[in-house]
Amino acid sequence: MPIPSRAALVDHLVRTRIAGDVATPRDNNLSHYRKLANGDRHYWLGLELGDRWTDEQDVLAVMAERCGVSDDPEHRVGQDTIDPELTVDGLDRMAARLRKAAAGRERVLFATGHPGSLIDAHSRVAAGLRAAGCDVVRIPGGLVADEGYVVQFADVALFERGATLWHTHSPEPMNAILDGLLREGSALPDLVVADHGWAGRAGQRGIDSVGYADCNDPALFVGEAEGTVQVAVPLDDHVIDPRYYEPMTAYLLAAAGLAGA
């Protein structure tokens, strides 16, 4: 995969709707911001936000700043956006943390709640870090959460139920992994690269956490604003063809000094 320039990547993100005019409608975004502000823990993605984000407009302000959605509170329906420049800025910040992990040969855990779209992106970064000398964490066997199993495929932790990999926002699979590592006497990860509740709960438990987040998943951006999450990269986390993420992953690996992976 050729490594795109920043400008070429921005064009690709907009063309494939990973950023720019994304598929998630404005009313869905605002509904999720409201639910986070109202204390619905499903939308906290494993973070503990207390009573610090009870104003929907404060959440909207963070999302406008860090994700690029419209900051107009009167814009209630129709198109919403992710700023592709903020996406690439987020990739650059993630790359800096990956470089640190490679330099220190850290233990790194990868996980995704979007097995249909992001598993290959996570797996390729895992391969790059392993080649650089990092220890990619192998999760304990037999982990159970949310009436299903936590499994690992291509170095990426996933949630399985009924012999099917599931889309999940829950933090409980990450709890199961971290608790399972502690039970078997293994060291916890130095870094988690993930999304959804996997990333949020890792950060909440004091582990460096970086990840991807959609414009209707405000919690990771709030966590980044508070410093609980180190990096939240704004993007549509489930576009129609997972191959669309390949140029983004190539850019990230190159920026992290892992382009040979």
Structure token digits, residue 214: 């959609």
Whether 210 contacts 191, CB under 8 Å? yes
Token pair in block for residue 191? 């870094």
Cα 147 to Cα 8: distance, rounded to the nearest angstrom: 43
Which two tokens mark 249? 């992953």
Q: Which residues pair with 157 in a beta bridge?
A: 111, 152
Rounded CA-CA distance 15/49 in Å is 35
Cα 228 → chain centroid: 13
CB neighbours of residue 186 within 10 Å = 14
DSSP, collapsed to helix, strand or coil, labels residue 3 as coil
Report the DSSP pairing between strands 148-153 and 156-161: antiparallel
d(CA 63, CA 70): 8
- Cα 246 from Cα 152, distance rounded (Å): 21
Rounded CA Rg of the chain:
17
Instruction: Flag whether the pTM goes above 0.95.
Output: yes
Which tokens in the block code for residue 187? 């060291």
Cβ proximity of 27 and 85 under 8 Å: no
From first to last of its 261 residues, what are the pLDDT tens digits of the chain? 789 999 999 999 999 999 999 999 999 999 999 999 999 999 999 999 999 999 999 999 999 999 999 999 999 999 999 999 999 999 999 999 999 999 999 999 999 999 999 999 999 999 999 999 999 999 999 999 999 999 999 999 999 999 999 999 999 999 999 999 999 999 999 999 999 999 999 999 999 999 999 999 999 999 999 999 999 999 999 999 999 999 999 999 999 999 865
For residue 32, report the phi and psi dihedrals to the nearest 5 degrees: -70, -35
For each of the domains in the chain, give its residue range(s) and CATH number, in order of start: 21-82 (no CATH), 84-255 (3.40.50)
Q: Given the structure tokens 């949630």, which residue do they identify?
A: 159
Q: What is the Cα–Cα distance from 61 to 256, expressed in whole angstroms?
A: 30
The CB density around residue 181, as the number of other CB atoms within 10 Å, is: 20
